[in-house]
Amino acid sequence: MTEKSMRRRMLDGELFIADEEIGRDYLRAQDLTRRINAVPASDGKARRELLTELLGGLGEETDFRTPIQFDYGYQTFFGARGFVNFGFVCLDVARVTIGDDVQIATNVQLLTAWHPVDPQQRRDKWEAASPITIGDNVWLGGGVIVCPGVTIGDNTVVGAGSVVVKDLPANVVAVGNPARIVREI
């Protein structure tokens, strides 16, 4: 049996060290992201074509305001009728799944990547990632940060500036750092 490639380890959510293959994937995403961010706002068709090339999936009528940034792109899947505002950052080292009708405000960060606590492993450049899942009809307020491994349930609202470090159920409003549920919807 052969040893797994670093890219396979990354995709399987295991510790990995970025190698040449992962580096090529990253550079591809950076080139596409630069091109997306350069498309005039009036040319939605060209922007959508580039987003479709970059992303793992893009639902109908999902709209983006630039600038945006992705690590790899192909790990991110958007549902239909969503809206992503300026300054969106998606470190999609692991899969990011975003449901239908999701509203993402300015400067939101979805961060799947994490690094080992062990100092030697960090010095040796090991890293890993855990997937993020955002349900249907979620609203992420301005500056929200969603941390690795988090799932946010359908219809949930996360208030501006919140840092989501653990799962949130459906039909709640959560705010703060760390985000905590303040009421049900």
Active-site residue set: 115
Long-range CB contacts for residues 149-157, cutoff 8 Å, separation at least 24: 149/112, 154/99, 155/185, 156/185, 157/185
Q: Report d(CA 147, CA 105) in Å as an integer.
A: 16
Phi, psi at 57, each rounded to 5°: -165, 145
Helix segments in the chain, DSSP class H: 6-11, 20-38, 44-54, 119-123
Phi, psi at 117, each rounded to 5°: -75, -30
User: Is the backbone peptide bond immediately before 119 cis, with ω within 30 degrees of 0?
Assistant: no
Render 11-27 in DSSP notation, one character per residue.
HTT--B---HHHHHHHH
- Is residue 30 within 8 A of residue 49, CB to CB? The reply is no
Location of structure tokens 């949930």: 156
